[in-house]
Amino acid sequence: MKSLIIDGIEFKKKDVVLPVSAFKGNKHLYLGFDVTFFKNRFKDYDDVDDKEKKIKEILSKKYGKNFKVLSSDSFYIKNLDLYIDLRLGYLHNFNAYNSANKFHIDCLNKLINNNETDMIRQWCIIDVKKRESMVGKNYLEIFNYDNEEDLLNQIARVFSIKRAYSNKVLEGELKTINLILVNE
């Protein structure tokens, strides 16, 4: 069985049998294929660098001094306590690598066959570490956006429940419930 060593980690091909319902087309040779949505990222989205710069401008304008650039594709918004990672390139998969997922094993086998070390490093090492470091934090990955409104809507959806129910609103609801229970 073929294997690759990347950053000191050995990646070995494993025998796997995909379920009958699994997608069998040739597009799943690529890492960016998302089994859930059947989307395929053969290449970077158009003008990734320009899109990253545009996102930085939008967020800087919207959040001002609360906006912090962590790297060219990673940001933090202090007042929202939100970490944002831009994943506009095809090396970023929509799903984190999962060694128990048969589809992921099949994809990794093909990547090993094709010596796709950059894709394996990104998907199986870098992205996994990043996602693990964000457990318990407000974290948003942006894979694409259409315009400023779409970008800000993606951010707003992270906090839709928190914004809908402030402590004051929740206290009022609890008082109302207590009054109903006392009157019964």
Q: What is the pLDDT of residues 150-159, one digit of tens each?
A: 999 989 888 7
50-54, 113-117, 180-184: least confidently modelled range:
180-184
Average the pLDDT over 115-136 and give the result: 89
In the prediction, which pLDDT does 1 show? 75
Count of Cβ atoms closer than 10 Å to residue 99 Cβ? 10
CA 64 to chain CA mean position, Å: 24
H or E element at residue 103: helix 102-113
Per-residue confidence band for 45, with pLDDT thresholds at 50, 70 and 90: low
Ramachandran area for residue 96 (φ above 0: left; ψ -120 to 50: alpha; else beta): beta
Whether the pLDDT of residue 57 is over 90: the answer is: yes
The pLDDT of residue 30 is above 70? no
Question: What is this structure's pTM?
Answer: 0.69
In this prediction, residues 95-114 reach a mean pLDDT of 84
Other beta carbons within 10 Å of 31: 26
Section 10-38 average pLDDT: 62
Residue 62 reports pLDDT greater than 50: yes
Q: Tell me the pLDDT band of 82, cut-offs 50, 70 and 90.
A: very high
Q: What is the pLDDT of residue 36?
A: 42
Residue 89 near residue 143, CB atoms below 8 Å: no
**Dihedrals phi, psi of 4, to nearest 5 degrees:** -130, 145
Among residues 91, 150, 89, which one has the least CA distance to residue 118? Answer: 91
